[in-house]
Amino acid sequence: MSAFDRATPAPLSASAQKVQDAIAARGFPHRVFELEAPVRTAADAARAVGCEVGRIAKSLVFRGARTGRGVLVITSGANRVAEEKVAALLGEPLAKAEPAFVREATGFAIGGVPPLGHATRLETFVDEDLLRYDSIWAAAGHPNALFELRPAELLAMAGGRLMGVR
């Protein structure tokens, strides 16, 4: 149980509430927490919750270079994504996703993209390195919002394919 589990819940911003509702709709008991300051990087998030950076699940959005489809890669905060590996499984090269594309595809701004509750269906890949932890933290719709979960729950929530992404 983290210190956040014992905290008195505060009203959530609209985007964080959207994630809280998506979590509940899928039958998970997790609570979204909003911090006073944004945690836009995995290192910031790890410091804020008092864990190692590898336990932060980063949600990175790419665009298929040929099809334009949205691609979500959820990776350990300690890792960089080997785009060529993802592209090989996807069957097309990856392209950079501009902020407007990320917001349109997910319904969330960069820095707060959660692993679920997206505006459109994204081809999703989950970093196998996240499985080595008992619990991990993921963004929850806003740069100040996070929630804690188990890696197996992340796979169920995101509906992605497990792979080595680094």
Domain residue spans of the chain:
12-163
3 state DSSP class of 49: helix
Say which CATH class 12-163 falls into.
alpha beta
Q: Which residues contact 134 (CB under 8 A, 6 or more apart)?
A: 150
pLDDT value of position 2: 54
- Evaluate whether 28 touches 21 at the Cβ level (below 8 Å): no
Question: Under 8 Å CB-to-CB from 98, ≥6 apart: which residues?
Answer: none
> Quick one: pLDDT at residue 166?
87
Which structure tokens are listed for 13? 């911003």
Q: Which pLDDT score, from 0 to 100, does residue 6 have? A: 43
Strand partners, 137: 56, 148
Predicted pLDDT at 3 = 46
* pLDDT per residue rounded down to tens, the chain (166 residues): 454 554 556 789 999 999 999 999 999 999 999 999 999 899 999 999 999 999 999 999 999 999 999 999 999 999 999 999 999 999 999 999 999 999 999 999 999 999 999 999 999 999 999 999 999 999 999 999 999 999 999 999 999 999 998 8
Residue 4's pLDDT is: 54
Structure confidence at residue 141 (pLDDT): 97
The confidence score (pLDDT) of residue 1 equals: 45
3-state secondary structure of 141: coil
pLDDT at position 9 is 62
Cα(10)–Cα(149) distance, integer angstroms? 19
Residues 6+ apart with CB under 8 A from 81: 60, 73, 75, 165, 166
